[in-house]
Structure 1
Amino acid sequence: MHLRHGTITTSDGTELAYSRAGEGPAIVFVHGSVSTRHPWFPVIEALADNFTCLIHDRRGRGDTRESDASVASYGPETELTDIATMLELAGPGAHLFGHSYGAVCALEFALRNELPGHLIAFEPPLPVSGPVAGDTLPRYRQAIAEGDPDAALTLALREIVRSPESAIGGLRNSPAWPALTALTPTWTRELEAIDSLGADAGSIDRFRALSGRPVDILLGTATTQPHIDAAQRLHETIRGSRLQEMDGLDHFGHVAAPAVVARHIREALTQAPVQG
């Protein structure tokens, strides 16, 4: 795979760093929280023979920097502006893929715009039985303010993501931990944005407007219960959507088994849409 790197300027003057690879129909990827575009390169490599894949570093991550004005004005619309910029770069008919918070952004974009291609949402952390961050958010903010990103990340994984202690310990001992802790400040505003959507499953109901459009929802069978609940509720809400279960994978399946995630993306884009 030959990755090409570049930058593109959004309508508000922000320069997005992005990577592009492959040939064929275009897919724009939107990565999740405490991440950059780089962990998605193996998935892109597995798809590059059949698809043109584009992925950007979201604002404040990786090689994409923000101005003070951009930080102060951040909101869901900011993410939608960046997605629109990448879709324009991708060209007519591009598909949109989002993971985690990136999937929330992709869903919002599809709700507010006529998406030219297919929408694929990999475990969007939407509220079902209460706010996603809720009472944990003030303590998360405090840990960040005190300069303790390790404590902040541990708290979020334990109480928001609800990862088992064994998984947190494994992640802590992995090479990925320092990069994750470095990005913990950027997670604050995303948790705030998710909780602003609403505190219960009623906030998912508005995605019923996507019914009849080509939507796939990816769900790892080994993921945490909040992600399972959200994915299943979203599938029930969007009539005609497909729920693809990825056996044995969790929320970070793209890191553990990129070829498997790529296969499910390929299947979503090559199968006929379900009629709802």
Structure 2
Amino acid sequence: MKVPKAGVIAAVIGLSLTASACGGDDDQGTLAVGIKFDQPGVGMREPDGTFTGFDVDVATYVAKELGYSKDRIVFKEVLSNDRELLIEYNEVEIVAASYSINDKRKAKVDFAGPYFLAHQDLMVRADDPTLTKAEDLNNPAKRLCSVTGSTSAENVRKNLAPKASLLELGGYSECVVALKDGLVDAMTTDNSILAGYTARKGNEGKFRLIGLRLSNENYGIGMKKGNTELQVKINNALRKMVEDGTWEAAVKKNFGPDYKYETAPAITAGS
């Protein structure tokens, strides 16, 4: 399911041709922010065209601190495997899209944060009692879904279930459909994303999280390398968001009362 690099670059070039129509870089006075469009509770484009989710709330708060009101933010969709490209090609100025900080990504972009700590988990169908731990998937007969370019997919290959049949799709919503239809036995990504899907209207009672902590995912805000001034400003905004209580309120609003979140991580990027 991997997209050829040339195809990705062509898509990025195509986006640049329409940037002015959606408030892109040619439209002075706006801030282009990359988010996910298909992650309930994290980053979601609703049917009415509005945007919801924790990353959306964080990006909106940061934008305000940078001097941009809500009507001057332009949200653009990013996929897990094209976030660095969109930053490099100036399609977005910052990315807040369940963007885990790691050394491979830091070689291409700079980060502010982290602003949230998630853990990789497994989501299965609620009526399937056979999967209770990661090792239950380590069988060629078991099919696991993840998203191309995600750190979860890499962890699956190396550590989680090397014998499982891994299906990589372009978006998390596609994995949810595959799980619901019985095409895969489980789906893996961050527990924050999975919690959003289990709580999504229409999904109540259909899925369950196993409750694992297979990795530590520190979400950061990505930007072009070398923009130290912007990095410092965003870090200051994130600290203020935690201190004034907005961060905790956003967590509870987006992930629900049953989500067991951890306190905001210490900001280390750029320090």
Question: What is the TM-score with the length of structure 2 in the denominator?
Answer: 0.38
Could you say which structure has the higher helix fraction? 1
* Larger Rg over CA atoms: 2
Relative contact order higher in (CA < 8 Å, ≥ 6 apart): 2
